[in-house]
Amino acid sequence: MPESAHDSLVVVDLSYQYPDGNEALRGVNLRIPRGERVAVLGPNGAGKTTLVLHLNGILTGVGSVHVAGTLVAPSNFAEIRRRVGVVFQDPDDQLFMPTVREDVAFGPANLGLKGDELDQRVDWALDQVDMREFVNRAPHHLSFGQRRRVALATVLSMEPEILVLDEPSSNLDPASRRELAEIVQRLDITLLMVTHDLPYALQICPRAVVMSRGQIVGDGPTREVLLDEPLMSANRLELPYGFDPSSVPAAGTIKQ
């Protein structure tokens, strides 16, 4: 799988076995061009989280992972972890400072930004998630949906190459779910979204890959993947009752 200057992510023959012998990844190959939004689908235990943990070097297996042309390797971990921004399922795992401003400023400040440059980066990141008016608020005084948006801002403030969202719609009320989708759709960034929420995948990501037993077993336009009944059934993926992917507008593509 030769690399391209337009690829945000290239994974080649990636395999990983946990110490207990569980083979979590088996020869995974994946390319994501810059600016593409891709949903990662699959049952629990398929290898989705293990794959994500290889993107920033938390786990290292056999094979190779390149982010924007840079090999994920110990000598590059600092740069790789700036380029791959992960928003966890629980925003409280990422918010630990007294105010929203301090949380969003934490990463850029550690990169050496200060003064007006740091303030501008914080304001920009909060503008991306429509949370600038809460800049001086304590995160624990925000709603769950607002905290998730601030957690997203903490990642965006690092100006990553790839944004990884882990179950972004979980525990959100319908309005917060819609608002987050609108925010994510307008971001000009490469997106990898791990989710069990199949309608959300269709709404946000034009492309979907399906993982099962450590391998990618499906890859294509999200609507086509969701309408592939044999693929869905074989991998324990079920659409919500009454949901018909063919009747819902699919996500648009990001301008390359």
Total of domains in the chain: 1
171 located within any domain? yes
- Judge whether 228 and 202 are in contact, CB under 8 Å: no
Cα–Cα–Cα angle for 245, 247, 251, rounded to 5 degrees: 65
Could you report the per-residue pLDDT of 93-149, keeping only the tens digit for each? 999 999 999 999 999 999 999 999 999 999 999 999 999 999 999 999 999 999 999
Could you report the per-residue pLDDT of 130-145, keeping only the tens digit for each? 999 999 999 999 999 9
1 located within any domain? no
40 located within any domain? yes
23 located within any domain? yes
256 located within any domain? no
Could you report the per-residue pLDDT of 77-90, keeping only the tens digit for each? 999 999 999 999 99
Question: CATH number for the domain including 119?
Answer: 3.40.50.300
* Helix segments in the chain, DSSP class H: 48-55, 77-83, 100-110, 115-128, 144-156, 174-186, 198-204, 222-226, 229-234
117 located within any domain? yes
253 located within any domain? no
Residue length, the chain? Answer: 256
- How far apart, in whole angstroms, are the C-alpha atoms of residue 33 and residue 48? 19
What predicted TM-score, i.e. pTM, was given to this entire model?
0.92
The range of the structural domain enclosing residue 225 comes to 7-247
pLDDT in single tens digits along all 256 residues of the chain: 545 568 999 999 999 999 998 999 999 999 999 999 999 999 999 999 999 999 999 999 999 999 999 999 999 999 999 999 999 999 999 999 999 999 999 999 999 999 999 999 999 999 999 999 999 999 999 999 999 999 999 999 999 999 999 999 999 999 999 999 999 999 999 999 999 999 999 999 999 999 999 999 999 999 999 999 999 999 999 999 999 999 888 776 444 3
Residues with Cβ within 8 Å of residue 2, at least 6 apart in sequence: none
16 located within any domain? yes
